[in-house]
Amino acid sequence: MMPGTVMYVYLGSLVNVGAAHRLRTTGEWVLYGVGLLATIAVTIFVTRVARKALQKKITSAETFRNPQSL
């Protein structure tokens, strides 16, 4: 849940940045873009790691309950 929450908070902060009355420099927009891409990449990575760990745990629990399925 945390990576998704962080991503949505970051997206919300970008909306706030875009609504501000101050003009942003190109460098600031590049940093916002890099931050967004990094947030998305970490979210995808953590989701995949968690999914693999959960699948491994489920598989080992099923094997423990039914050892004859090997």
Would you say residue 22 has pLDDT above 80? no
pLDDT per residue as tens digits for the range 49-69: 999 999 998 888 777 776 665
Quick one: which of 50, 21, 17, 19 has its CA closest to 33? 17
**CA–CA distance, 34 with 42 (Å, rounded to integer):** 12
Average pLDDT, the chain: 81
Query: What is the per-residue pLDDT for 70?
Result: 53
pLDDT band, residue 39 (cuts 50/70/90): confident
Which among 13, 15, 6 has a CA at the least distance from the CA of 44?
6
Q: N- to C-terminal Cα distance for the chain? A: 33
Record the pTM: 0.63
Going by the DSSP 8-state scheme, the letter that residue 66 receives in this structure is -
What is the dihedral sign for C-alpha 6, 8, 14, 17?
negative
